[in-house]
A and B are shown apart, each in its own frame.
Chain A
């Protein structure tokens, strides 16, 4: 099993303001994301990657149906032909966040964010960064079926739609990632980025067929494997009656008797997901909810900057 990432702390020993426990005390994904974004932007200033600007791309001969306002009158004067300008906005990045909203994502260690809330903060952070540079971002939420789809938009007020959707969602039911990915296929009009946020506590085979399909269509897919710290370290001591979140199964057990076997199986499962992702040319990132979400986003951006992610 991969070692759980250390929980970052300030050098003076105080907990960082973007620490998940600190974030958990803030109400609403917007506030949480704003604090994370600040951190990320500071991080990006130190980064060699800068955002792309919106610029003219090329001329195209006018054809009926093109907007009149895009006609380049200077070119008409020079060549006596109608040309329309094509701008880079049309080739801007389109991103889809596919978010698992099944009941299992509602798990969170005491006093910290649930996996769903954590993923929500990450999505909001990414959305802010993308919208800031005129990129479009959409959202697909699913549990046992697709519960909501927000098509990609690049307007800044689209962020409100996203945050409202994330804050009003109640996790429930089982997991059907395949359905969520199908929605991406349906709503995406061009190649783009696909971010998948899930704990993958479901069939580990079926979704990967769909992921491969997305990769085949030119999307750059990244899986954020979101796991809670409890799920990665199993820190329980007292005899506990465990109850499933997507089923009614119960197990009374003395945790130390099963810890070793549990951790082994979790590590095997994580490795399986990671290997499947690599085999499918899908990016993989293990997200430990004990880690500040900003750190995770930064790590992703540094490894997959705009030049790499641009598609």
Chain B
């Protein structure tokens, strides 16, 4: 309920006046000795009680009268619901967008999962549908998928689609509501009926609604209803969000320092037992995590022989899927880094990649290995790009249209691109790269000559950096980091006018950008404005060079995104190093299922196999048939974004849906009303229910009741 004049609510205090008057009168009541007191009903206890009740009733009525009056002055009204009715009986197309992400496996108080509740709601809606109502079922777990053949009038077929959704429910998924809503809009555009309705059924966790809003341009959606299957109630959830393992001591029996990251998404502090399982060895500790805060628990244990991984567990709570985390004790998957040489030289130390090659092949820490592949700009093919996770364009000034398109698609789908400067960059670089560069290049600037004895005096050095960025975090707090002593003689001057998603991560003296980052689709791009060799700077011979380029590649390959440390998530593909030995490849899933895999010549050349979207949580093995000893292990966990069950606010829902339906009104379809959400987002006055006339009517009734009571006495 909203109020047009909220100050009027202060008048509710008027309700106290009759009570105060009553109390004052009671105190001031004159004592009167009266002979006929028996006739004042006191002799009849029942009547006396009725009299007292009547007095209280009159008092309550008078207080209510004043409060109603104040309430009416506050001009209350009820905002319209997101949709007029939860009834699909009218003719039209109905898209049922059902969230089947991991968070929907949360157990409701009745012991059923939220997904069970969502499916029940969906079935009720289907049952209420008329003969001219068609339904589409769209699952909002990644990947978003249409489970019916477009809009279907066959309720049994819709029911079967819901059954399929239920049977596939145990698979952990991230949410992708944006894609599901886009699919809903596309599907409804095929509806022959003017009424097009979308039901978004799920837990309505806030994280699911954080997305760049797709638009239903030109799709006249008439109504959108958001159904929260948990009724907006918060659900406590303690989650393991990551495990970082550091080895020390002898290789045969190393000492492990296992740091377990926990987050309490509940509203009250939680104390829980954390158990670490390493083969047969089990250790436990207790942790108290404040409400809404992260915390860590560290185990220091000697690794039992032949143990290749472990599991951290919590006592299961409402969402059991995030109460465990599996991890491996070695490098288990690789990031394929395709390095493109824009200025190859026959003399090795003069080659553009001389230092980068060494840096990428150096020993790496963590679970993620960088698997460098090399090519020249002239021989770069789209197939090579698609086989990579990260592409480094070292001093590549121009791209062919084919390369540009392939790179654009690659980045848009989630790939990473690192562009470094050099003398190959000319005036046509901006046109050649398009939006792949975080900022357009304005010019090439030279402040000193490399090799000039006086160069050190006029050369630039790195002056500032954003240490909150994952790439720069390793330099945070490191005194005298060599990164900030490197001399830069030439650089690409960028035009840093505002560009959505782009930012400068590090700058030279005077605020000149040194390293910038941009976003294209789901992918990331970075631009280092100087060279990776010694031509424009001496950065390559600084000790900071190795962690800088390794972190940059890991970041672009999304290896640094995992909360609590490296790991891999369900539903995301990854490159796994090929196991040693010969024989057919087999991928062993956590449930023991063995899937034969074939390796192509490209896989062999790259030294890795791409595993598409693993759908189970646990430890995977990629091995040669029968050779478990040389198997490569990698762990896959559920997406912890799903652990945060904080409900989205109504304002966010409205804003998102209003944005999606923003352009619908331009469709020249006179038979279609504007979506209800538009009115709601704009204030909804036109459809608000004004309450004060009803309250005034109530006032008259109260007056009448009060007068009747008094007169009747």
Residues of chain A having any CB pair with chain B under 8 Å: 103-107, 115, 199, 201, 228, 230-231, 236, 238-247, 249, 251-254, 256-262, 265-266, 269
Contact A241/B37 with A258-B51, A260-B712, A261-B713 known, Cβ cut-off 8 Å: no
Sample of 20 A–B contacts (CB below 8 Å): A105-B35, A201-B35, A201-B38, A238-B25, A238-B30, A239-B25, A239-B26, A240-B32, A242-B40, A243-B37, A244-B33, A244-B38, A245-B37, A251-B40, A251-B42, A253-B55, A257-B51, A257-B713, A261-B47, A265-B39
- A266 with B39: CB separation less than 8 A: yes
Interface size on B, residues (CB 8 A): 27
Minimal beta-carbon separation of B572 from chain A (angstroms)? 77
Please tell me if B278 contacts chain A, counting CB pairs below 8 Å. Answer: no
Please tell me if B31 contacts chain A, counting CB pairs below 8 Å. Answer: yes
How many angstroms between the C-alpha atoms of A105 and B33 in the bound complex? 12
Contact of A243 among B33, B38, B48, B54 (CB under 8 A): B33
Query: B47 — which chain A residues lie within 8 A by C-beta?
Result: 261
Contact of A256 among B40, B42, B710 (CB under 8 A): B710
Minimal beta-carbon separation of A94 from chain B (angstroms)? 32
Contact A238/B29 with A257-B713, A258-B51 known, Cβ cut-off 8 Å: yes
Please tell me if B58 contacts chain A, counting CB pairs below 8 Å. Answer: yes
The chain B residue sitting closest to A245, CB to CB, is B35
Query: A239 — which chain B residues lie within 8 A by C-beta?
Result: 25-26, 28-29
How many angstroms between the C-alpha atoms of A116 and B204 in the bound complex? 84
How many angstroms between the C-alpha atoms of A231 and B42 in the bound complex? 16
Minimal beta-carbon separation of B63 from chain A (angstroms)? 15
- A199 with B58: CB separation less than 8 A: no
Query: A247 — which chain B residues lie within 8 A by C-beta?
Result: 37
Contact of A242 among B37, B54, B55 (CB under 8 A): B37
Consensus secondary structure, chain A interface: mixed
Contact of B31 among A103, A199, A241, A259 (CB under 8 A): A241
Contact of A249 among B25, B42, B709 (CB under 8 A): B42
Contact A243/B40 with A238-B25, A257-B710 known, Cβ cut-off 8 Å: no
Query: A243 — which chain B residues lie within 8 A by C-beta?
Result: 31-34, 37
Minimal beta-carbon separation of A240 from chain B (angstroms)? 5
The chain B residue sitting closest to A230, CB to CB, is B34
Query: A269 — which chain B residues lie within 8 A by C-beta?
Result: 39
Query: B478 — which chain A residues lie within 8 A by C-beta?
Result: none
Query: A256 — which chain B residues lie within 8 A by C-beta?
Result: 710, 713
The chain A residue sitting closest to B30, CB to CB, is A240
The chain A residue sitting closest to B711, CB to CB, is A260
Query: B362 — which chain A residues lie within 8 A by C-beta?
Result: none
Query: B25 — which chain A residues lie within 8 A by C-beta?
Result: 238-239, 254
How many angstroms between the C-alpha atoms of A104 and B713 in the bound complex? 25
Known: A244-B37, A257-B54. 13 other contacts (CB 8 A): A104-B36, A105-B35, A107-B34, A231-B36, A240-B30, A241-B32, A242-B32, A249-B42, A251-B40, A256-B713, A258-B40, A261-B47, A261-B713
Please tell me if B41 contacts chain A, counting CB pairs below 8 Å. Answer: yes
Minimal beta-carbon separation of A229 from chain B (angstroms)? 12
- A107 with B713: CB separation less than 8 A: no
Contact of B37 among A115, A199, A249, A257 (CB under 8 A): A249
Query: B58 — which chain A residues lie within 8 A by C-beta?
Result: 254, 257
- B40 with A253: CB separation less than 8 A: yes
Minimal beta-carbon separation of A257 from chain B (angstroms)? 4
Minimal beta-carbon separation of B182 from chain A (angstroms)? 68
Query: B41 — which chain A residues lie within 8 A by C-beta?
Result: 251, 258, 261-262, 265
Minimal beta-carbon separation of A300 from chain B (angstroms)? 23
Query: B34 — which chain A residues lie within 8 A by C-beta?
Result: 107, 230-231, 242-245
Query: A199 — which chain B residues lie within 8 A by C-beta?
Result: 35
Minimal beta-carbon separation of A205 from chain B (angstroms)? 15
Query: A251 — which chain B residues lie within 8 A by C-beta?
Result: 37, 40-42, 48
